[in-house]
Amino acid sequence: MKLHIKNGKLVDATNKLDCVGDLYIENGKIVSTNDEPPNFHAEKVIDATGQIVCAGFVDLSVRLKNIPEETAVAASSGVTTFCVQPDISPIVDTPEVVKHLKELADLANYSSCYFIGALTQKLDGSELSSMLSLKQAGCIAVSNGNFPVKNLLIMRRAMEYAASHDLLFMYRPNEFSLSNGGCAHEGAMATRYGLPSIPEAAETIALEQCLELAELTGCRVHFGQLSSKRAVIKLQQAKKYGSTVSADVAMHQLHLTENDVVSFDSNYHVLPPLRSVHDRDYLRVGLLSGSLDGICSDHQPHTIDAKLAAFPQTKAGISTLETLLPLLLKLVNQGSVDLAQGLVLLTTNPAKILGLNTGSLTIGLSADICIFDPNLEWHVNSKNWRSAGINTPFWGQALTGRVTHTIQAGKIIFTRV
């Protein structure tokens, strides 16, 4: 399809675009910005007046229960590429499971759904999976999700295996013996209300161990969903002295803190836990310093029943795809990042981490595009919410910023009506 997007504000730091202009797409690729190509006759024209045109979002961490439903949610949220963690049902630990899940994504007409293979069989933390077979089946990385690896020797062997096949090792640092089944940050709030807590040391100790093993094995490591100031500082120091690791933070960690948990609303139950205001503010600093390379949604839709028990007994996780854009714009409005910087953290950088040829408005790249209205206010309620998981702490709130069109490889996969 030949597609012409006109009069939108093109924002793309890679190509130093921050201007009102036009975008031309043909055969699934971007063929021109601003100047109409010779003999170009658009089959469809999208008038993006008053809207932002940027690369489609690349989400480094989602968990899906229903692929057809949640890929539609991703499309409506401007996400054109995402990575599915291995700790879903079925566990992504064999080529057969990968093939089955890819078939479901193909049936949903969502072409850029990537799967992260399990590091160990059944995520048991002891027997290594067949990583080469998982890579050959299409896995883009390996991880143990939110499950522990039994000991450091197994971790070392896993990282050596991953390195030998040039597989990205994605790791959420958490020393399980210290986190000990906790559900809240170890601080004043957890102490006051008697909630089982998780110290930030559970994150920083695991991060340091993994950094040492990365140096030893030469494995490419990406740290997922960091939550504490001390972890960001340790990562910053490692990068300063030559480590080539990368890291992301979940969008909700940039807004919410332990103080929000006082309501005992289980929608605030997440892993890693919401930490102090000091931690949240330093996570924002980490975005500007380059210590943190990307922002993910860490989307985890749950049924109503999963959130009905007492706070510590509920399932951790938030349904977050639909709030990804408005929460980014909130960061921009608060002065934590500018729009171009924020979009890099959702597009260009995650694509680089995954080794994908997308994430910018560069001529010749796949036409993965998000068009959004930065001023459109909407309410988080049953009329506007698409995900089957309504487990969001933002329910009932008014947010600003809404995706109007999502284009994946030149194909319009979502239009807001």
- Domain boundaries along the sequence of the chain: 3-51+367-415, 56-354
Same-fold call for 3-51+367-415 versus 56-354: no
76 contacts 386 by C-beta, under 8 angstroms: yes
Using DSSP bridges, classify how beta strands 168-171 and 141-143 pair: parallel, antiparallel or unpaired.
Answer: parallel
Tokens 């600093």 locate to 285
Q: Is 3 helix (H, G, I), strand (E, B) or coil?
A: strand
As a whole number of angstroms, the distance between CA 320 and CA 77 comes to 10
> How many CB atoms lie under 10 A from the CB of residue 359?
29
* pLDDT tens digits in sequence order for the chain, 417 residues long: 999 999 999 999 999 999 999 999 999 999 999 899 999 999 999 999 999 999 999 999 999 989 999 999 999 999 999 999 999 999 999 999 999 999 999 999 999 999 999 999 999 999 999 999 999 999 999 999 999 999 999 999 999 999 999 999 999 999 999 999 999 999 999 999 899 999 999 999 999 999 999 999 999 999 999 999 999 999 999 999 999 999 999 999 999 999 999 888 999 999 999 999 999 999 999 999 999 999 999 999 999 999 999 999 999 999 999 999 999 999 999 999 999 999 999 999 999 999 999 999 999 999 999 999 999 999 999 999 999 999 999 999 999 999 999 999 999 999 998
- Residue-level pLDDT at 262: 84
The three-point CA angle 247-251-253 to 5° equals 85
> How many CB atoms lie under 10 A from the CB of residue 300?
25
> How many CB atoms lie under 10 A from the CB of residue 357?
12
Helix (H) or strand (E) holding 197: strand 197-198
As a whole number of angstroms, the distance between CA 217 and CA 237 comes to 19
As a whole number of angstroms, the distance between CA 89 and CA 92 comes to 8
- As annotated, the active-site residues are 298
CA distances from 155 to 31, 45, 148, 239 (A): 45, 52, 10, 21
Tokens 């890679």 locate to 14
What the block records as the tokens of 290 is: 């380059």
CA distances from 209 to 201, 239, 244, 275 (A): 12, 15, 15, 22
As a whole number of angstroms, the distance between CA 128 and CA 335 comes to 45
Domain 3-51+367-415: give its CATH architecture: Roll (2.30)
- Residue-level pLDDT at 65: 87
As a whole number of angstroms, the distance between CA 107 and CA 95 comes to 18
Classify domain 56-354 at the CATH class level: alpha beta
Nearest alpha carbon to residue 402 among 381, 382, 389, 384: 384
As a whole number of angstroms, the distance between CA 344 and CA 366 comes to 17
151 contacts 126 by C-beta, under 8 angstroms: no
> How many CB atoms lie under 10 A from the CB of residue 106?
12
Helix (H) or strand (E) holding 310: none
CA distances from 308 to 184, 265, 266, 269, 391 (A): 17, 9, 8, 12, 11
> Can you say whether residue 378 is alpha, beta or left, with left for phi > 0 and alpha for psi between -120 and 50 degrees?
beta
Q: Is 291 helix (H, G, I), strand (E, B) or coil?
A: coil
